[in-house]
Amino acid sequence: MKSTMLLPLSLAGALLSAPAMAQAPARTVIHAGKLMAEPGKPVRGATTIIVENGKVVAILDGFRPADAGAVLIDLKDKYVLPGLIDSHVHLTSDAGGLAGQLEEVTLSPAAQAFNAEVNGMKTLRAGFTTVRNLGDGDGATLALRDAILAGKVEGPRIVDAGNAISGSAGHMDGSLGYRDELRPYFQGAGNTCNGADDCRRAVRLQVGRGADVIKFASTGGVNSRIGAGLGKQMFDDEAKAIVDTAHMFGKKVAVHAHGADGIRLALDAGADSIEHGTILDEATIAAWTKSKAYYVPTLSTVNGYKERLAANANAYEPDVLAKIRWRISITGKSLEQLVPRGVRIAFGTDAGVSKHGRNADEFELMVQHGVTPIDAIKAATVNAADLLGLSDEIGTIAPGKSADIIAVASDPVADVTVLKKVDFVMARGEVVD
């Protein structure tokens, strides 16, 4: 007797009582009402997706019956698209300002690891099956990345930067804002560098820790406790040494950069992505259009700032608060300038500054600042996969690729805000509860 298991969207029965991600069956058949297999290309109508051992093995027209023993997932009334990718997150926390600074000296690496797992699951349940974690000092997300890959815990695929690099007294110098006698403790992380040779050492340290990508700060930052502005805070030979060393090891480079001079420095050094990119001038835009570097806008930071300040007007020190108010006022202006010039955009939120699990808020902000809905979706799928060097594995739904699949109630191109409520998530062939 044929014994096909039929699972409605609610995943009634066994999956509802399963852990966060149910063990993937040998074969899963998905009936998709609409399928955006590759954002930017025509949407398919009724389609059957066949998944085996965590991979998509076939995409067929119409609703094909499931074989005996296969799990059938009914998404006939849904829009189905690839799992989303957030190219800029910080999973260990979403505390900010003074609360975030306090966490740095009160939370153990083990506590941070638990935070990262919880925040990773919030992100995964929001439809983001892959993230690029751009900095944590204690190795919590490196460990979480490995545990997820080994199947020990649930979570999104993580591309991790280890500890982000900067010059001493730069944005990623963890000793900023602490008393003098405490500063050597934070400087012991080894992520700050002075001079080209020392910056090569800092990159090699992160590579040795197992980092997938290298991140460094070429400019000051909004949240860092230093009154040195948001312009360039690294010399040309230091930035070039970081990029060249990372590329030698086969690692891409993400650069935190606000000021135009620091953006240009990073572009000239050969950076693969610019994070934030807040201040532009014509020379910087011209350099960017000649570069293959992606822009990761991180517009969602403004939501985090506004929400924390609404809850506590003293959430930030006065020197940081002034920069936050400036950041809120200018956010989105760079995107409005770069999109018409053809600069490639990859989706990234800076979740941790904004709230984890609210990653899809970025779509609405991108559209408000000149990105079409379909291009915003491409930024979170096709483009982000390319930036992460994972186009052969993620970013589209295609035979041979990881079965990272989500579904929403209606057409996200007609209304991109539907991506804020994802109805179904499959990560690497496993259904997320």
pLDDT at 86: 98
105 versus 357: which is more confidently predicted? 357
CATH 2.30.40.10-classified regions of the chain: 5-83+396-431
pLDDT at 178: 61
Q: What is the pLDDT of residues 198-214, one digit of tens each?
A: 999 999 999 999 999 99
pLDDT at 120: 97
pLDDT at 223: 78
Query: CATH number of the domain at 84-387, please?
Result: 3.20.20.140
Query: Going by C-beta distance under 8 Å and a sequence separation of 6 or more, which residues neighbour residue 340?
Result: 370
Average pLDDT over residues 141-159: 96
Q: What is the pLDDT of residues 339-356, one digit of tens each?
A: 999 999 999 999 999 999
Model confidence at 94: pLDDT above 50: yes
Burial class (CB in 10 A: 0-12, 13-18, 19+), 297: buried
Are the beta carbons of 288 and 263 closer than 8 angstroms? Answer: yes
CATH 3.20.20.140-classified regions of the chain: 84-387
Which pLDDT band holds residue 172 (cuts at 50, 70, 90)? confident
Query: Going by C-beta distance under 8 Å and a sequence separation of 6 or more, which residues neighbour residue 330?
Result: 278, 279
Calculate the average pLDDT of the chain. 90
Which pLDDT band holds residue 221 (cuts at 50, 70, 90)? confident
Q: What are phi and psi of 7, to 5 degrees?
A: -115, 115
What whole-number distance in Å separates Cα of residue 276 and Cα of residue 88? 10
Q: What is the pLDDT of residues 378-432, one digit of tens each?
A: 999 999 999 999 999 999 999 999 999 999 999 999 999 999 999 999 999 999 9
Q: Looking at this protein, which amino acid is placed at residue 370?
A: G
pLDDT at 107: 78
Are the beta carbons of 202 and 193 closer than 8 angstroms? Answer: yes
Which pLDDT band holds residue 97 (cuts at 50, 70, 90)? low
Q: What percent of the chain is predicted at pLDDT more than 90?
A: 75
pLDDT at 188: 57
What whole-number distance in Å separates Cα of residue 115 and Cα of residue 342? 38
Burial class (CB in 10 A: 0-12, 13-18, 19+), 3: exposed
* Distances, alpha carbon 225 to alpha carbons 266, 317, 327, in Å: 22, 8, 15
Which pLDDT band holds residue 8 (cuts at 50, 70, 90)? very low
Model confidence at 106: pLDDT above 80: no
CATH architecture of structural domain 5-83+396-431: Roll (2.30)
Q: What is the pLDDT of residues 247-270, one digit of tens each?
A: 999 999 999 999 999 999 999 999
pLDDT at 98: 65
What whole-number distance in Å separates Cα of residue 25 and Cα of residue 3? 14
Which pLDDT band holds residue 9 (cuts at 50, 70, 90)? very low
Query: Going by C-beta distance under 8 Å and a sequence separation of 6 or more, which residues neighbour residue 409?
Result: 77, 78, 79, 418, 421, 423
pLDDT at 6: 43
